[in-house]
Amino acid sequence: MREREVEKKLILEVKKRGGLCEKWTSGTVGWPDRIIILPDGKIGFVEVKRPGGKPRAIQVHRHNILKRLGARVYVLDTPDDIGGILDGIQTT
């Protein structure tokens, strides 16, 4: 399975929950791929990887910046984790 396929499944599941799954294009490297916005103002960030893929050092650094600011940040490398990630965002 490719990263793009994992990302497509994420987008579909977010839409099923009535949310938005927007691509983050900040102009600088290392930020998570997607901003997830769910009903009731629930927001999280998702870095999408191919199965078994891991974030690069710059990505870990950026994720830590967001976490220090109180944001929810997830790394998704398998479609099986999508439900748990979205549940985590919705319970913030």
List, for residues 50-69, the tens digit of each pLDDT value: 999 999 999 999 999 999 99
Residue 26, pLDDT > 90, answer: no
The pLDDT of residue 92:
76
Cβ contacts of residue 51 below 8 Å, gap of 6+? 1, 6, 77, 78
User: Can you list the domains of the chain with their CATH numbers?
Assistant: 3-90 (3.40.1350.10)
Round to whole Å and give the CA distance between 65 and 71. 9
Round to whole Å and give the CA distance between 29 and 2. 21
Residue 30 identity (one-letter amino acid): G
pTM for this prediction: 0.93
Round to whole Å and give the CA distance between 18 and 79. 18
Tokens of 31: 């930020």
* Beta strands 34-38 and 73-76, pairing class: unpaired
